[in-house]
Structure 1
Amino acid sequence: MNTEALIESLTQNVPPVRRNAVGWRLAVGLIGGGMVTIIVIALMLGLRSDLDLAMRGFNFWMKWTYTISLGTIAIWATARLARPDGARPPSLWLVVLPLAALAGFGAVELARTPSADWLAMWLGHSWRICSLMVLLLSAPIFIGFLWSFRRLAPTRLRAAGGTAGLAAGAWAATLYCLHCPEVSAIFVLTWYTLGIVLAAGIGALLGPRVLRW
């Protein structure tokens, strides 16, 4: 059998792929992992006692806007890298926008706060554990993405693992806001971002091993 005949035989009776199949697959992985993360937060950390009041304030939505923006951009990039064409995700540079916006809010905070209080505002009450908590809470979501990738075909495994880790970290940070009482923009910019970056780095390290097909 020559090459053309082999290719033709392989393409016969191939069922059509559902429109947006990659996006739906990743969404299922995200929702499944996110549900586990929410349960862990509710049972082990506890939700904020003033959550209803916090959700009416600017600072809570500032944090959510930041983390959801990062998570959305990372999901988009992951969906591009989940395809076998290995396309470079043009959307990934967009993470600069939420970073710059939050940095702007942080600069305004610093300008309005006496310099003697800057360190306390930066460290908050939970800087020692915040990044670690975001990293640990991202694990169920990352595992959900690994399930999603079982029927996908990435070729740039390190990049796909990195964007999946970035998405897992950002969405874990989003859910962590339901527990975390910190309100400072520079706290979020530093410690939340560090946890998200660690999740992305670990995803990039694991990608060549766990996404191989």
Structure 2
Amino acid sequence: MNEEDLIEALARDLRPVSRHTLGRRLVGGIVLGGVATALVVGGWLGFRPDLALAMHGPTFWMKWAYTISLAFCATAATARLARPDGGVGGWLWIMALPVLGLAAIGIHELMTTPRAGWLAMWLGASWQVCSRNVFMLSLPIFGGLLWSFRRLAPTRLGLAGATAGLSAGAWGATLYCLHCPESSALFVLTWYTLGMGLAAIVGALLGPRLLRW
């Protein structure tokens, strides 16, 4: 068999792949992990008792706007990196917008709060466990994304792992809002972001080992 015959034989049974296959694969992994994370929130941490009331206030939606916007950006970057020739595009830069927006709200809080209350506003009542909880809640979603990557073809494994970890951390933080009663933008900017950052770092470290194909 010559080279041309070999190429023809290899290509004979190829089937076109839907342009939406990658997106559906990633969404499936996130949903699977997200269901597990939601069960952990409900069974381990518990939903905040005033959740229905909190969802009628601006603070809850401020937190969700922050975490969901980061989650969408990180997921979009992960989808690009799941391709052999993929790059993050401008998604990592777009993530700066919600960070800067929440920072502006935090500065406004500082300007309108007496200096004696700054520390309490920053630490809240749960700063010691918040970042840890966000990180722990990211793990099932990160596992779902690892399942998604089994049929994908990333080449920049460290960066793909980092964006997958950040995506998992941001979606985990979104579900953590169902438990967390903290209302300060400064608290969310610090401790939520730290938990998401830890997930990204772990993803970057594990990516070259777990995303190899």
TM-score class, shorter: over 0.9
Q: Contact (CA 8 Å) 1:81, 1:89: kept in 2 or not? A: no
1:148-200 residue CA offsets vs partner (Å, 9 max, x unmatched): 00110101100110000000000000000000000000000000000000000
Q: Which residue of 2 aligns with 1:187?
A: 187
User: How far is 1:87 from its partner?
Assistant: 3.0
CA contact (8 A) 1:38 1:175 kept: yes
Q: TM-score, normalised by structure 2?
A: 0.97
Secondary structure of 2:95's counterpart equals helix
Are 2:56 and 1:56 equivalent residues in the alignment? yes
In the alignment, the residues of structure 1 paired with residue 57 and residue 2 of structure 2 have an alpha-carbon distance, to the nearest angstrom, of: 68
Distance (Å, rounded) in 1 between the aligned partners of 2:64 and 2:188? 10
CA shift for structure 1 position 93: 1.1
Partner of 1:178: 178
Pairwise CA distance, 1:97: 0.4
Q: How does 1:1-213 map to 2 (within 5 A)?
A: 1=1, 3-213=3-213
Give the CA deviation at 1:65: 0.1
**Matched AA of 1:63:** K
The 8 Å contact of residues 78 and 88 in structure 2, kept in 1 or not, is answered as no
Paired residues, number: 213
Match of 1:189, as an amino acid?
L
Gaps of 5+ in 2: none
CA distance in 2, matches of 1:194, 1:129: 11
Give the CA RMSD over aligned residues. 1.1
Deviation at 1:3, TM superposition (A): 4.8
Structure 1 residue 86 displacement after superposition? 3.4
User: What displacement does 1:84 show?
Assistant: 1.2
Q: What is the alpha-carbon distance in structure 2 between the residues aligned to residue 100 and residue 32 of structure 1? A: 31
What letter corresponds to residue 113 of structure 2 in structure 1?
T
Q: Give % identity.
A: 63
> Scaled by the length of structure 1, what TM-score is found?
0.97
Unaligned 5+ segments in structure 1 are: none
Deviation, 1:4, is 4.8
